[in-house]
Amino acid sequence: MHKKYVALLFTAVSLVTGSSLSAQQKSTITLASQENAPTINKHIYGHFAEHLGRCIYDGFYVGEKSTVPNTNGVRNDIIAALKELGIPNLRWPGGCFADTYHWKDGIGPKDERPEMVNQWWGGVTEDNSFGTHDFLDLCETLGTEPYLAANVGSGTVQEFTEWIQYVNHTGKSPMSDLRKKNHREKAWGVNIWGVGNEAWGCGGNMTPEHYANLYRQYATFMSDWTNSGKMFRIASGANVADYHWTEVLMRDIPKNLIEGVALHSYSFVTWEKKGSSTKFDEQQYFTTMQTALKMEELVTKHTEIMDKYDPAKKIALIVDEWGGWYDVEEGTNPGFLYQQNTMRDAMIAGTTLNIFNNHSDRVRMANLAQTVNVLQAVILTKGDKMILTPTYHVMHLYKVHQDAKLIPIKVASPDYKFGDKTLPAISASASAKDGKTHISLVNIHSTDKITTEINLESLKLKNFTAKIISSGKLQDHNTFENPNAITEKEFKDFKFKNGTLSVTLPPFSVVVLEGK
């Protein structure tokens, strides 16, 4: 073919795809000073289980009489998968559901519990068969810390504080006596508490000034009943870029009444037209990644506000809802938010966790939404079948960062271009723990492999191994018929010579390297 026509063809294909076809792009990563680097708090890798769709019922909880193997009604396969994932905390019962939930309806004999209508999610009637004991016993089984989101929107201070007394009081009291009557002698000792949820929206459509005063009232009466001062109180924080909300909370809430400020942000094509979770094109993929990478700006700007009032960084930024949000799968209840999970979600997970790791001086807890069968779930179920999603495998690879010392890095990345817009193609974070160094790398580019060079001479490392999550198409996902289409695999496309690690990352891939 004539060179002129080859050039024309190249240009035409580039215009159609909206991206560069160069397969020889390179990036570099350099290490910054580690002297004052923070520890990556394990709670950044937290999860979220709301009474929404099939997350609790027909997800976690199938009931003691189910033919699906279970422990006290909770699926054994889910318990095993979450233990392997090493989840550090689990948030419950919401979400929007939290501010309609009255905890006393979910204790005592199950056949005597009142029913309620889930007004936020599908209008379904539930029987409260999964309640406080079920959730906290599940957390004990998982070895994870419970995060209880309490009702401020439609509840009272007394209801809230009685719940704390019920689960935490070790001596004799009305609520600890009630707990013992319900066959639980030992207090659970719940430390993490959310004071309402999304007070700017489904939690009451409040102004930040009103919520700040309400928070002060609730937080004043919160006690762990041991005077140890260990209770971790989280204020309902901003919706995405509502920086005024964070400003008011940090300004108006006394520092002795608060340990964390929340932030919620989801990734999607557009809020009005979220698109299919599996039938998306490159433009929809690129736009979704724009909203995902916006997390860097959100965390930075909310942190700047918090730094004005709390320069010692004693108050944590808690991103307790994040993840991809698309249209529900065809034929499912639109209020159940059930969606599939593709390589696009793996890109969201990898890049978002890298952002959290790199900001771990302020971000000390986060919760992926949600654990089972809802939004960017790590687990999907169908009858007695269960599959692990690409997001599960990313979080499994990244668990090496939990409670590890951050290695600050600087990334010089080539652009991923679509039309007249660009995004950095490479995302990364690194940490050290127990004599091992881990580097997590993500290439979000839809077509280009990218070689990344990392100078690690100062770390005196000798040997590396690696694992990868990748696939042939961005839309690829695991199904109940083919549950292992996307899994973690051994990765060898890297070289380590004279202290420099050279890694060739396939398009839309996640790689975690271990050096020692």
Q: What DSSP string describes 364-413?
A: EEEEEE-SBSSSS-SEEEETTEEEE-HHHHHHHHHGGGTTPEE--EEEE-
| Catalytic-labelled residue, pool 50, 162, 198, 259 | 198
Distance, in Å, from the CA atom of 376 to the CA atom of 351, rounded to the nearest integer, reads: 14
Per the residue annotation, which of 145, 321, 330, 453 is the catalytic one? Answer: 321
φ/ψ region of 482 (left if φ > 0, alpha if ψ in -120 to 50, else beta) reads beta
The Cα 305–Cα 310 span in angstroms is: 9
Based on the number of CB atoms within 10 Å of its own CB, is 39 exposed (0-12), middle (13-18) or buried (19 or more)?
middle
> Does the active-site annotation cover 488?
no
Q: For the chain, how far is it from start to end, CA to CA, in angstroms? A: 50
Q: Are 203 and 214 in contact (CB under 8 A)?
A: no
Q: Is the peptide bond before 370 cis (omega within 30 degrees of 0)?
A: yes
Residue-by-residue pLDDT tens, the chain, 516 positions? 444 433 333 333 343 344 444 446 899 999 888 888 999 999 999 999 999 999 999 999 999 999 999 999 999 999 999 999 999 999 999 999 999 999 999 999 999 999 999 999 999 999 999 999 999 999 999 999 999 999 999 999 999 999 999 999 999 999 999 999 999 999 999 999 999 999 999 999 999 999 999 999 999 999 876 656 679 999 999 999 999 999 999 999 999 999 999 999 999 999 999 999 999 999 999 999 999 999 999 999 999 999 999 999 999 999 999 999 999 999 999 999 999 999 999 999 999 999 999 999 999 999 999 999 999 999 999 999 999 999 999 999 999 999 999 999 999 999 999 999 999 999 999 999 999 999 999 999 999 999 999 999 889 898 999 999 999 999 999 999 999 999 999 999 999 998 999 999 999 999 999 999
Alpha carbons 268 and 348: distance in angstroms, whole number: 10
Specify the pLDDT at position 24.
64
**For position 230, what pLDDT does the model report?**
76
Burial call 454-483: b when 16+ CB within 10 Å, e when fewer? bebeebebeebebbbbbbeebbbbbeeeee
Half-sphere exposure of 392 (CA within 13 A, CB side): 26
Specify which residues 248 forms β-bridges with: none
* 321 noted as active-site residue: yes
Both tokens of residue 217? 């009232």
CB neighbours of 381 closer than 8 A, spacing ≥ 6?
54, 58, 59, 75, 78, 372, 373, 387
- How many residues would you count in the chain? 516
Interatomic CA distance for residues 464 and 441, integer angstroms: 14
User: Counting Cβ atoms within 10 Å, is residue 65 exposed (0-12), middle (13-18) or buried (19+)?
Assistant: exposed
Closest by alpha carbon to 160, among 147, 150, 174? Answer: 150
Instruction: Tell whether omega for the bond before 419 is within 30 degrees of 0, i.e. cis.
Output: no
pLDDT at residue 33, as a whole number: 80
Helix (H) or strand (E) holding 168: helix 157-168
The answer to whether residues 370 and 325 touch, using CB atoms and an 8 Å cutoff, is: no
Sign of the dihedral through C-alpha 224, 142, 62, 96? positive
Do residues 371 and 325 lie in contact, with contact meaning Cβ atoms separated by under 8 Å? no
User: In angstroms, rounded to a whole number, what is the distance separating the alpha carbons of residues 360 and 319?
Assistant: 12
pTM, 2 dp: 0.94
Q: How far is CA 490 from CA 347, 398, 509, 514, in A?
A: 18, 15, 13, 12
DSSP 204: T
The 3-class SS string of 446-484 reads CCCCEEEEEECHHHCCCCEEEEEECCCCCCCECCCCCCC
Q: Which domains does the chain have, with CATH numbers?
A: 19-36+408-515 (2.60.40.1180), 42-403 (3.20.20.80)
Contact (CB, 8 A) for 78 and 379 = yes
Evaluate whether 292 touches 351 at the Cβ level (below 8 Å): yes
| 450-455 and 25-31 strand pairing | parallel
Locate 272 and state its tokens. Answer: 């009005």
Report d(CA 380, CA 341) in Å as an integer. Answer: 9
Element (H or E) spanning 317, and its range? strand 316-324
* Rounded-to-integer distance, Cα 86 and Cα 39, Å: 17
Chain mean position to CA 457: 33
